[in-house]
Amino acid sequence: MPPTKGLDQNREIRNLPLTSLEVRRDPKDNDARKIVGYAAVYNSDSEPIAGMFIERIRPGAFDRAIKEKQDVRALVNHDPTLILGRTKAETLSLKSDEKGLAIEITPPDTQVARDIIESIDRGDVDQMSFAFRAQEETWIEKEGETPIRELVDVDLFDVSPVTYPAYTDTEVGLRNFEARQQARETQEAEAASQVEAELDLRLRSLKY
């Protein structure tokens, strides 16, 4: 079922500082201008989030969202009042390839669209971001290394050209990380308690 936009408590936003973004003219569509680029790149490690974990996107993380034709918007800076396109209206197309989530936006003839196109053409805006909800994730943890959160399958809300690339809305990821840490500590404590109980039982058997 497609995600419902709004007060979704599990909604997260990720901005990618190395994502290419540009405006092209489509000769097949009367030289209409298109905004193209990547909203996400696979197997690219983020900077440490809140100093606690690194995040990466697994290839295919967006495949289900695309197959289900989730109703994804193209916005400016994730502002729902600044809309550039929409998958339902076929003014936003999404494609998962070997590099990541490729996007193509056919913007409307509005002042908002003209402004962002001008900013992209000038190079003032050259990065993309995406809003999502993780449906499946895995954690890679090695002693002495920063844990890695891998996004395996996500619902997609919107993709956006962004002014400032920065990690925002990390509360969900941090909450998942802390829950995992707590579960592991509980498991280790239970294992230690079991070992202690077994040792105590052996000592008692030796006494008698």
In a domain, 140, yes or no: yes
Full domain range(s) for residue 61:
12-169
pTM score, whole prediction: 0.73
In a domain, 135, yes or no: yes
Per-residue pLDDT 10s for the chain (208 aa) are 444 444 456 778 876 655 568 888 877 777 788 999 999 889 988 878 777 888 899 999 999 999 999 999 999 999 999 999 999 999 999 999 999 999 999 999 999 999 999 999 998 988 888 999 999 999 998 888 888 989 999 999 999 998 876 454 444 444 454 555 565 556 656 666 676 766 767 766 766 5
In a domain, 60, yes or no: yes
In a domain, 202, yes or no: no
Q: What's the domain count of the chain?
A: 1
Beta bridge partners of 128: 16, 161
Query: For residues 18 and 120, what is the distance between their CA atoms, to the nearest angstrom?
Result: 15
Look at residues 179, 165, 84 and name the one whose alpha carbon lies nearest to residue 129.
Answer: 165
